[in-house]
A and B are shown apart, each in its own frame.
Chain A
């Protein structure tokens, strides 16, 4: 069984019978939605003068208002995570808080099925003089955990957050990474049905992030659903099959997360193709065989006599299950003379398991010796630009994502 299969097995729905992740305001979502909202609008009053007292005293609320959310409709199918991308100020965090019930929307409805929790920015939701244990206890009590289960959950939090002796220390003595770990452990000690996550899987060092990630996958395989808001689009590719792009308080685009990430990055059209470009008659797809010496051949046109370098990457992308850069090369010198060149990119004993991949190619112009400016991107073939090359690798079925050449040498009986 390949790792991809095992990951996909945790995502029950298949393409054929999937529910649309986004239902338009008019059409109610079919089937079961763990969380849905329709026609949600939210306005905040704006006071340029007078300050907070006007808010408190509820005086003149008819003044200027700013529209933060505008007719948002969203549906999260049971057992799925839906991603939301958008630039700063698009209304992502506000939408999440409306879904969680922290803010009440001015118009529209929100339906929640099951227990919903929000993992918003890691904060000091307590006094710094509380010890980590006291903080965790308070957090659990606020979440309504019965007294009888406290001890058991506190032990789990202590173990998950890896604070060991620091668990008895006050928060002000812990580093910010430790506090974030504690906060995460306390917020996720109990299982919920729906998770609303705002930039949360980025706490702690690599080891802890992996742990959070495994926890997330486990919850997903047990049927949890949720919404993931993050600027780390790679996380959305790995966790969500469907995503939405927000701008100005509206959902401007919905669809498979690969397309939404492409729209979010919005990189197409960049680059100085007059300096160097891939020729338009290059092949759009390549085929290769696993563990065999491979050559990718394509033409490049140089319009200026500058040193041009090539970068390449081979990416595995199955939205909602996996996104990995498998191979990568940077700053590979190509040519520095005007004209058309045949470029051959050779990879010895191609270490890729059979399957379909994206081959991305980048051309950059290097500044001349001694110049202060940096390399300039000239032309790109990449899935983020919507023009990636596809690579099909054939060969015997391989249970791992790579087919790294290993040699096994028999040795005598070792002690």
Chain B
């Protein structure tokens, strides 16, 4: 049987315990049980037995693909899910975004709910009173603060919940990035506040899909996959290893994820695009995942067994949402004696460096005779960036330079 001690169930009689927060997990696992129905679905292991210690002052970031067990682990630490086995020892009050909103009374006003939530978090009315105005100012929902909670819109509820969360001096703060409600002004305010908490918070655990926020906010990084900890260390090393692993991931798995990875079509007998390979100079072999900023070549092979009068070859790179990013046509030289293209021909198209922004693309090579496409071959291409720009996702990551000279 799993054991749990400490944690949100232990309340110091003096109100605010002065213990240093600490999380210790020993061989903790989570297995979802077999279903009781007859069409049985079997069991699913969400977290394999794992041991983890988080000490005071650590800011832990958890990364990993969907279904890696990140949320399950957080729920176990937060006391929302029972572990199937192992020992859990949590010292300090856990404040998690997914526990907020629970226990709030729909019939009470926002102001009263701040007190209710404070008591759930182990704070007396006297302790909540000094920060009450701060919470109300941060939530910024106007006169609604004195209206019953059920009159709130979804956005207002999440604003109030977030404001409460961050003003009760969390000891162990768990933030699941998935929760990003609120309009543009509030989102910016919330980001600034989270940075502040990370600077003073005692233990912070963040689940994130953006490597940049892990690099910015965390002192330690955990990489989970299939319910196992793959790597544990400083954020720079782990995020880099994670990205590299994503890159070297089984090509077949990626191919399966992307519909129809490689398509070859011929519209005229004897004409074919025999080769379409994306290569980086660092690694050998065909790649379906490349890094922006690295020197990249596209290798193309063409074959025509019947003469083409006006042969051309075209490279098209189309982003998955339909935006044509690259469309380049190259005339194929005609050999005089044949009055057309016959036989095999190869091209190396160089992109040094690759300037495409992060995203999924379909790269296609077409062999044309005049305006007719006589053969084509396409493949999926995923472009990844190590340090994406913070201000947006540009189509191209293109170099530029700036110089300034003073006047007068």
Contacts and interface: CB of A to CB of B under 8 A. Distances in A.
Interface stretch (B19-27, B119-127, B221-229, B318-326): B318-326
The A interface is mostly helix, strand or loop, or mixed, namely mixed
Specify the main secondary structure of chain B where it touches its partner. mixed
A121 B153 CA distance: 12
Contacts of A94: 153
Contact of B349 (A6, A332, A333, A406): A406
B330 interface: yes
Interface in A358-415: 398-402, 404, 406-415
B67 A399 contact: no
Contacts of A299: 407
B267 interface: no
A252 to B, nearest CB: 15
B9 interface: no
A339 B147 CA distance: 54
B155 interface: yes
Contact of B155 (A88, A210, A313, A348): A88
Interface stretch (A20-28, A139-147, A167-175): A167-175
Contacts of A408: 328, 330, 347-349
Contact of A326 (B315, B346, B394): B394
B407 to A, nearest CB: 5
A91 B315 CA distance: 48
B345 interface: yes
Contact of B321 (A44, A214, A328, A402): A214
Contacts of B320: 207, 210, 214
Contacts of B275: 414
Max chain A CB contacts within 10 Å: which of B153, B275, B347? B153
Given A94-B153, A206-B359, A406 B322 contact: no
A131 B41 contact: yes
Contacts of A337: 406
Contact of B406 (A46, A328, A339): A339
Nearest to B146: A48
Contact of A402 (B41, B106, B395): B395
B101 to A, nearest CB: 14
B326 A402 contact: yes
A342 B389 CA distance: 26
A295 to B, nearest CB: 10
B327 A398 contact: yes
Question: Which residue of A2, A206, A233, A408 has the most chain B CB atoms within 10 A of its CB atom?
Answer: A408
B327 A330 contact: no
B348 A89 contact: no
A308 to B, nearest CB: 9
Nearest to A345: B402
B66 A175 contact: yes
Contacts of B106: 52
Interface in A201-243: 205-207, 210, 213-214, 217, 231, 233
Contact of B148 (A48, A91, A121): A48
Interface string A86-123: 11110101100000000000000000000000000100
A344 interface: yes
A88 B153 contact: yes
Given A322-B323, A343-B404, A411 B148 contact: no
B403 interface: yes
Contacts of A46: 147-148, 151
Interface stretch (B54-62, B84-92, B181-189, B233-241): B181-189
B344 interface: yes
Contact of A217 (B186, B322, B349, B389): B322
B394 A404 contact: no
Contacts of B394: 313, 325-328
A324 interface: yes
A265 interface: yes
A288 interface: no
Contacts of A177: 66
Interface residues of B, number: 83
Given A88-B182, A332-B400, A402-B395, A131 B39 contact: yes
A124 interface: no
Contacts of B178: 176
Contacts of A169: 41, 44
A311 B274 CA distance: 44
Contacts of A264: 184
A337 to B, nearest CB: 6
Contact of B147 (A66, A326, A351): A66
A7 interface: yes
A412 B359 contact: no
A3 interface: yes
A248 B323 CA distance: 37
Given A206-B360, A214-B322, A402-B396, A340 B402 contact: no
Contacts of B349: 406-409
A48 B393 CA distance: 46
23 contacts: A66-B147, A88-B156, A91-B153, A94-B153, A131-B39, A168-B41, A170-B41, A206-B359, A206-B360, A210-B321, A214-B321, A217-B322, A313-B391, A327-B394, A333-B402, A399-B327, A404-B325, A404-B396, A409-B350, A411-B299, A411-B347, A414-B274, A414-B299
Given A6-B322, A210-B321, A401-B395, 8 more contacts: A48-B109, A52-B107, A169-B41, A210-B360, A214-B321, A328-B389, A401-B323, A414-B275
Interface of B: 32, 35, 37, 39, 41, 44, 66-67, 71, 106-107, 109, 141-142, 144, 147-148, 151-156, 159, 178, 182-187, 257-258, 274-275, 299, 301, 315-316, 320-328, 330, 333, 343-351, 355-356, 359-360, 389-408
Q: Which 8 A-B pairs have the closest CB atoms?
A: A88-B155, A413-B344, A411-B346, A400-B327, A3-B324, A414-B346, A328-B394, A399-B327
